[in-house]
Amino acid sequence: MKVGFIGLGVMGAPMALNILKGGHELTVYDRSPEAVARLVQAGARAASNPREVGAASEIVVTMLPEPQHVEQVVLGEDGIASGLPPGGMVIDMSTIDPVTSSRVGRALRERGLCMVDSPVGKTSEHAVTGTLTLMIGGEAADIERAMPVLRCMGTDTFMCGGPGTGHAMKITNNLLATTIMVANTEVLAIGAKAGLTLELMMEVMKTTMAFNHQLYVAMPKKAFKGDDSPGFMVKLAGKDVRLAVELAKAYGFDALVGRAAQESLDRAARMGYAERDTAALMKILEDELGIQVRLPKA
Summarised one tens digit per residue, pLDDT across range 17-31 is 999 999 999 999 999
pLDDT tier at 231, thresholds 50, 70, 90: confident
Assigned domain for 135 exists: yes
Say which DSSP state 225 is in. Answer: G
Q: For position 297, what pLDDT does the model report? A: 77
* pTM for this predicted structure: 0.92
Q: What is the pLDDT of residues 196-210, one digit of tens each?
A: 999 999 999 999 999
Assigned domain for 298 exists: no
Summarize the confidence of residues 255-281 as an average pLDDT: 97
Claim to verify: residue 183 and residue 203 sit in the same structural domain: yes
CATH code for the domain of 58: 3.40.50.720
Assigned domain for 294 exists: no
Claim to verify: residue 133 and residue 234 sit in the same structural domain: no
CA 167 to chain centre: 10
Q: What distance in Å separates the CA atoms of residue 228 and residue 65, rounded to the nearest whole number?
A: 20
Q: For position 286, what pLDDT does the model report? A: 97
Assigned domain for 17 exists: yes
Claim to verify: residue 156 and residue 57 sit in the same structural domain: yes
Residue 62: strand, helix, or coil: strand
The letter for the amino acid at 245 is V
Catalytic center residues: 170
Claim to verify: residue 133 and residue 60 sit in the same structural domain: yes
Q: What distance in Å separates the CA atoms of residue 231 and residue 149, rounded to the nearest whole number?
A: 25
Q: For position 298, what pLDDT does the model report? A: 54
Claim to verify: residue 97 and residue 241 sit in the same structural domain: no
Q: To the nearest whole number, what is the mean pLDDT of the chain?
A: 96
Claim to verify: residue 23 and residue 143 sit in the same structural domain: yes
Claim to verify: residue 44 and residue 150 sit in the same structural domain: yes
Helix count and strand count (H, E) for the chain = 13, 9
Q: For position 208, what pLDDT does the model report? A: 98
Summarize the confidence of residues 57-66 as an average pLDDT: 97
Report helix angle 12-21 to 33-42, nearest 10: 20
Claim to verify: residue 9 and residue 28 sit in the same structural domain: yes
Assigned domain for 59 exists: yes
Summarize the confidence of residues 204-233 as an average pLDDT: 95
CA 276 to chain centre: 15
| CB of 117 closer than 8 Å to CB of 164 | yes
Residue span of the structural domain in which 241 resides: 168-289
Look at residues 162, 178, 206 and tell me which one is the last residue of a structural domain.
162
Q: What is the pLDDT of residues 167-181, one digit of tens each?
A: 999 999 999 999 999
Percent of the chain with pLDDT over 70: 100
Q: What distance in Å separates the CA atoms of residue 104 and residue 92, rounded to the nearest whole number?
A: 10
Say whether pLDDT at 262 is over 70.
Answer: yes
Q: Structurally, how many domains does the chain consist of?
A: 2
pLDDT tier at 296, thresholds 50, 70, 90: confident
Assigned domain for 296 exists: no
Q: For position 51, what pLDDT does the model report? A: 98
